């Protein structure tokens, strides 16, 4: 057990080793070393009979293993006793009846072996008789040989045939069944010629069968020699011999009879064959395996004459050849032998008695041994079970150890992780502590911040209120400033002489020496004819920026929610388009105003949100054309555009393109698109532009982000058609129609302005498309800026006078205080959200405001018109070719003087009063039938 390991669940018991312990020190090396081994493996050893006995010697350490997985017995070839390492299945000799070992039954077969071993081990107890018994009484016929004929002789265990004793031919071994061949080279006692018969033998239970023998009586001689157990002890091999299944020799022990390597011949065994069954000779072991060296069959020659019964026993060493033995001595010898036989018989009888006693004692001891063996077996089985249990426990422990080692390793990992987690935990605790501190600080800060926020919120709301109040005040003040400047303002701009005029030697008819005071003097032939005063006067040297500087405040008004109208009026070629549109290098009022709008919007972005969209229209022949719609042509109205009144008296042109603009670049694109549309619509752009009104409408939606107040306002930028007078007779056809339409629209503009000036209950806005479109921005609640464009050329003096007179009259008209344009829907929404004054309070407030404004306006008129006559002032508005004369004076008064400022007015009145009166009477379309007094 100590020399090997097992690699699978296998319960090992070194049975042979245990057995060996008892026998190790016996004299006989082979037999004493391993009885059990011999029992177990003798057959295997003997089967390999070509190997001599020393080579077949086994050290006796054989290990039997019990697989826990299989009930079969396995032999552990890893034992040092077994040549090849490894496990094998049970060898043949351990199977069958001999040994039956299983986990269920324990070692059943072992019991038998144990008994044999014990018997063999206690050889003294197991010694049988030193001689064997012939079943039939032996009968030795000394002379029988000479009457016999050898029929068949077999040299058992040899492939050679030999001549035995020079007379009997022993043929090679045949007709056998079972057993194995053994051979020895040891000399056989009495070795001599033919004794080699005994050096080979058949070992083990075996049967010889001879067919084809005639039915008759035969004599059989059997030759034996102990060549295997040559060191004894006796009783180790005891066997029976059967002839025709009839035991003829019982318990033959060759060693006990003659010793080893000594021939023993049992001769004259008589048998009879009755039919064709043949002759069978069977050797069957009682203890150990039988061994036989030769078989000889003779016919019984004396059988016919003499019945020979019984068998003879011949001891070959004592045998002498017939030639050596004389008949006389034979008698003596026979006699002596008879005496000796008698004495031996007696001795044998005594010995038998002793033997009987020994046998009884032996049986007694055997029973004791049996019981001891039984208990031993039980103990062994118990041991086996315990061992198996221990094995299974060992296996389980091994598994548990492995499992435990896994657990240990995972425990180590977990411990390591736990350490890390603890470190993390400590770090987190530290962080949590600092975080708590931070939280406390933060809470402190938070409360401070909250209090600050509250303070600032309060401050913010105060500031907001103040801001709103301030904004409101600013607007009001701003508006008042503009009102004080006049809600309708007139700027006069004079273009420079162009190259052609200079080349033609044209002279300047305008003197701008008092330009800064808003005055200009019209000269004729170097003599001052008339002085005109306007809100601003721009000489030919004034550039676009100078012009816009005075225009810019209106942009603020638009964003404050007031409607504004800026238009350029004047004779063709005086620079209306230049002032309004300008050029790409020298941009005009249109672009600059919108640029200013975006500039202000950017400045107000935190408090206001604005949306701006632009429409570009053209009024030609009293038809409205959308210049932002590509493909539309002048005079060809693809879609008829009409003016509709919308909520709160506003006006709108349904279907018109409103281009949303968010920056000045987009503005420029829209303006260019409109300008191109105007040019595309005409074969002669300049001519066409002179005969149509180009109108830009900028719609502004504003939202006060602080109080939610919303406004909607409009800015009209109008480049009017040329206002020059053309005699009716000079034009006809289409041109006449154009002229009439231009005059009509400009006259309508004059009428509207007059009606506004005279506070007529009816303002004739609908008399032309131009005035109808401008209705929102010409009323009393809007601001108007007029550019009167004049030519410096003396040759254009007449038209210049007309334009200046028209502008002077427009300037003299007060439209009243401007009204802010509130988006009623948005205002309604806002009012729902914020508390407002009661209707009664509103009414009272508005009445108060009206009276204040009236008083303010009244004062202003008185301040602005110091030169006016205190009682009657007559205004004549000369529009284009058609001259509209409006008499301003006491009711029922006659047509008064044209209201012109200063001395010039008085001069003109004197010069022209008579002529005009006459002309108007001639024309018959004096619309100023009723004279009205300016407030």
Binding residues for ATP: 570-577
Q: Which of 296, 572, 711, 775 binds ligand ATP (CB under 6 A)?
A: 572
Window contacting ligand ATP (CB under 6 A); options: 371-379, 565-573, 749-757, 816-824: 565-573
Q: Which is nearer to ligand ATP, 562 or 578 (CB)?
A: 578
Stretch that binds ligand ATP, among 447-455, 529-537, 686-694, 770-778 (CB under 6 A): 686-694
- CB 870 to ligand ATP: min, Å: 38
Tokens read off for 627 = 């210049």
Count of residues interacting with ligand ATP (CB under 6 A):
17
Question: Taking contact as CB under 6 A, which single stretch among the options 184-192, 196-204, 303-311, 574-582 is the one that binds ligand ATP?
Answer: 574-582
* 289 is a contact residue toward ligand ATP (CB under 6 A): no
Nearer to ligand ATP by C-beta: 203 or 534?
534
Q: SS3 of 294, please?
A: strand
Single out the residue of 109, 121, 681, 722 in contact with ligand ATP (rule: CB under 6 A): 722
Q: Please give the torsion angle defined by the CA atoms of residues 816, 821, 825 and 831, in that order, rounded to the nearest 10 degrees.
A: -80
Asked if 787 contacts 451 with a C-beta cutoff of 8 angstroms, the reply is no
Q: Could you say whether residue 590 binds ligand ATP (CB under 6 A)?
A: no
Of 167-175, 185-193, 396-404, 494-502: span binding ligand ATP (CB under 6 A): 494-502
C-alpha dihedral, 344 to 349 to 353 to 354, nearest 10°: 0
- 888 contacts 872 by C-beta, under 8 angstroms: yes
Does residue number 880 form part of the binding site for ligand ATP (CB under 6 A)? no
Q: Which of 532, 578, 787, 806 binds ligand ATP (CB under 6 A)?
A: 578
CA 13/CA 1 separation, integer angstroms: 7
Whether residue 240 contacts residue 287, with contact meaning beta carbons closer than 8 Å, is answered with no
822 vs 648: CA distance, rounded Å: 9
Q: Does 495 bind ligand ATP (CB under 6 A)?
A: yes
d(CA 879, CA 724): 9
DSSP state string for 799-854: HHHHHHHHHHHHHH----S----B-HHHHHHHHHHS----HHHHHHHHHHHHHHHH
How far apart are alpha carbons 146 and 909 in whole angstroms? 206
Q: Quick one: DSSP state of residue 582?
A: B
Give the SS3 label for residue 21: helix
Interface pick for ligand ATP out of 576, 592, 725, 809 (rule CB under 6 A): 576
Confirm or reject binding of residue 791 to ligand ATP (CB under 6 A): no
Taking the complex as a whole, the smallest distance from the CB of residue 675 to ligand ATP amounts, in Å, to: 12
By C-beta, is 537 or 757 nearer to ligand ATP? 537
DSSP 607-671: TEEEEEEEEEEEEETTEEEETTSTT-BTTB-SS----EE-GGG-EE-TT---EEE-SHHHHHHHH
Stretch that binds ligand ATP, among 128-136, 199-207, 492-500, 704-712 (CB under 6 A): 492-500
478 near 560, Cβ under 8 Å? yes
Residue among 362, 673, 682, 690 that touches ligand ATP (CB under 6 A): 690
Q: Which helix (H) or strand (E) holds 177?
A: strand 176-183
Name the one residue in this structure whose structure tokens are 């008129």: 861
Residue 692 in contact with ligand ATP, rule: CB under 6 A: no
Q: How far apart are the first and last CA of the chain?
A: 144
The residue (of 495 and 883) whose beta carbon lies closer to ligand ATP is 495
Say whether residue 573 binds ligand ATP (CB under 6 A): yes
Of 200, 261, 479, 577, the one binding ligand ATP by CB under 6 A? 577
Nearer to ligand ATP, 487 or 689 (CB): 689
Which of 739/789 has CB closer to ligand ATP? 789
User: Minimum Å distance from CB 574 to ligand ATP?
Assistant: 4
CB under 8 Å to 471, separation ≥6 — which residues? 607, 704
Q: Figure out which of the listed residues 37, 62, 300, 689 binds ligand ATP, where binding follows CB under 6 A.
A: 689
Nearest to 152 by CA among 224, 215, 209: 209
* Residue range at the interface with ligand ATP (CB under 6 A); choices 49-57, 683-691, 745-753, 794-802: 683-691
Q: Which is nearer to ligand ATP, 489 or 691 (CB)?
A: 691
For 916, the token pair is 């005009």
Tell me whether strands 563-570 and 710-719 are parallel, antiparallel or unpaired. Answer: parallel
Spatial contact of 674 and 664, defined as CB atoms under 8 Å apart: no
Give the C-alpha separation, 743 to 883, whole Å.
9
Task: Out of 38, 539, 789, 916, point to the residue binding ligand ATP (CB under 6 A).
Answer: 789
Q: Which of 194, 259, 496, 764 binds ligand ATP (CB under 6 A)?
A: 496
143 binds ligand ATP (CB under 6 A): no
Minimum gap (Å) between residue 746 Cβ and ligand ATP: 12
Residue of the chain from 263, 290, 486, 575 that contacts ligand ATP (CB under 6 A): 575
Chosen residue from 118, 200, 280, 574 binding ligand ATP by CB under 6 A? 574
Query: Which residues contribute to the site for ligand ATP (CB under 6 A)?
Result: 495-496, 498, 540, 570, 572-578, 686, 689-690, 722, 789
């Amino acid at each position: 057990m100590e020399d090997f390991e097992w690699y699978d669940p296998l319960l090992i018991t070194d049975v042979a080793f245990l057995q060996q312990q008892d026998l190790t020190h016996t004299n006989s090396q082979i037999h004493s070393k391993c009885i059990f081994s011999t029992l177990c493996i003798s057959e295997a050893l003997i089967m390999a009979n070509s190997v001599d006995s020393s080579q077949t010697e086994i050290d006796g350490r054989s290990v039997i293993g019990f697989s826990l997985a299989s009930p079969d017995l396995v032999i552990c070839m890893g034992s040092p006793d077994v040549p090849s390492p490894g496990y094998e299945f049970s060898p043949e000799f351990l199977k069958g009846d001999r040994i039956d070992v299983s986990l269920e039954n324990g070692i059943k077969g072992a019991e038998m072996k144990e008994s044999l071993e014990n018997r063999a081990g206690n050889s003294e107890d197991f010694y049988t008789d030193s001689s064997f018994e012939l079943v039939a009484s032996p009968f030795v016929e000394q002379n029988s040989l000479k009457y016999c004929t050898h029929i068949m002789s077999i040299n058992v265990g040899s492939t050679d045939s030999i001549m035995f004793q020079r007379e009997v031919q022993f043929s090679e071994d045949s007709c056998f069944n079972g057993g194995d061949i053994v051979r020895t080279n040891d000399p056989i006692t009495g070795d001599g010629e033919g004794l080699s018969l005994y050096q080979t033998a058949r070992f083990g239970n075996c049967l010889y069968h001879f067919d084809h023998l005639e039915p008759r009586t035969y004599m059989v001689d059997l030759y034996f020699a102990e060549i295997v157990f040559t060191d004894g002890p006796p009783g180790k091999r005891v066997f029976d011999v059967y002839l025709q299944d009839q035991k003829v020799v019982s318990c033959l022990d060759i060693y006990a009879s003659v010793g080893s390597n000594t021939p023993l011949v049992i001769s004259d065994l008589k048998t009879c064959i009755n039919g064709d069954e043949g002759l069978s000779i069977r050797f069957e072991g009682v203890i150990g395996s039988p061994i036989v060296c030769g078989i000889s069959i003779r016919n019984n020659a004396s059988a016919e004459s003499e019945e020979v019964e019984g068998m003879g026993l011949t001891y070959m060493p004592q045998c002498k050849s017939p030639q050596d033995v004389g008949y006389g001595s034979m008698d003596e010898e026979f006699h002596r032998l008879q005496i000796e036989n008698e004495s031996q018989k007696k001795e044998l009888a005594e010995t038998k008695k002793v033997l009987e006693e020994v046998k009884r004692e032996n049986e007694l001891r055997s029973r004791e041994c049996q019981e001891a063996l039984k208990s031993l077996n039980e103990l062994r089985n118990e041991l086996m079970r315990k061992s198996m249990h221990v094995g299974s426990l060992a296996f389980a422990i091994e598994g548990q150890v492995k499992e435990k080692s896994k657990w240990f390793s995972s425990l180590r990992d977990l411990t390591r992780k736990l350490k890390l987690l603890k470190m993390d935990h400590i770090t987190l605790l530290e962080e949590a502590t600092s975080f708590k501190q931070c939280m406390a600080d933060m809470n402190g800060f938070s409360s401070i911040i909250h209090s600050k926020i509250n303070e600032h919120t309060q401050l913010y709301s105060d500031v907001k209120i103040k801001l709103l109040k301030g904004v409101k005040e600013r607007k009001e003040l701003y508006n008042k400033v503009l009102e004080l400047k006049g809600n309708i303002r007139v700027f006069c701009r004079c273009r420079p002489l162009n190259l052609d005029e200079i080349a033609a030697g044209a002279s300047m008819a305008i003197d701008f020496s008092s330009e800064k005071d808003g005055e200009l003097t019209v000269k004729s032939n170097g003599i001052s004819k008339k002085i005109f005063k306007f809100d601003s006067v721009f000489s030919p040297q004034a550039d676009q920026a100078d012009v816009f500087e005075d225009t810019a405040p209106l942009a603020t008004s638009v964003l404050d929610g007031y409607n504004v109208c800026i238009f350029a009026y004047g004779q063709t070629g005086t620079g209306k388009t230049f002032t309004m549109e300008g050029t790409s290098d020298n941009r005009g009022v249109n672009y600059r105003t919108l640029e200013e709008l975006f500039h202000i919007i950017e400045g107000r972005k935190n408090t206001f949100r604005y949306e701006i969209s632009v429409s570009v229209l053209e009024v030609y022949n009293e038809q409205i054309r959308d210049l932002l719609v590509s493909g539309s042509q002048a005079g060809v109205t693809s879609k008829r555009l009409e003016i509709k009144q919308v909520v709160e008296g506003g006006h709108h042109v349904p279907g018109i393109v409103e281009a949303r603009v968010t920056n000045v670049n987009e503005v420029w694109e829209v303006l260019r698109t409109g300008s191109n549309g105007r040019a595309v619509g005409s074969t002669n752009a300049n001519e066409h532009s002179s005969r149509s009104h180009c109108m830009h409408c900028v719609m502004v939606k504003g939202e006060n982000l602080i109080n939610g107040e919303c406004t909607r306002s409009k800015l009209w930028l109008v480049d009017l058609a040329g206002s020059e007078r053309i005699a009716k007779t000079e034009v006809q056809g289409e041109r006449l129609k154009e002229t009439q339409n231009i005059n009509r629209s400009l006259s309508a503009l004059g009428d509207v302005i007059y009606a506004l000036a005279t506070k007529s209950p009816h303002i004739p806005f609908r008399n032309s498309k131009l005035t109808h479109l401008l209705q929102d921005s010409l009323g009393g609640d809007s601001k108007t800026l007029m550019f009167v464009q004049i030519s410096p050329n003396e040759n254009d003096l007449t038209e210049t006078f007309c334009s200046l007179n028209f502008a002077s009259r427009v300037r003299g008209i007060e439209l009243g205080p401007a009204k802010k344009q509130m988006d009623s829907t948005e205002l309604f929404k806002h009012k729902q959200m914020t508390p407002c004054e009661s209707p009664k309070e509103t009414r009272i407030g508005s009445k108060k405001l009206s009276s204040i404004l009236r008083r303010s306006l009244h004062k202003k008129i008185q301040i602005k018109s110091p030169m006016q006559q205190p009682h009657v002032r007559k205004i004549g508005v000369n529009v284009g070719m058609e001259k509209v004369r409006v008499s301003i004076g006491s009711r029922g008064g006659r047509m008064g003087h044209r209201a012109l400022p200063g001395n010039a007015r008085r001069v003109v009145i004197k010069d022209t009063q008579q002529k005009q009166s006459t002309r108007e009477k001639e024309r018959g379309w004096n619309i100023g039938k009723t004279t009205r007094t300016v407030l």
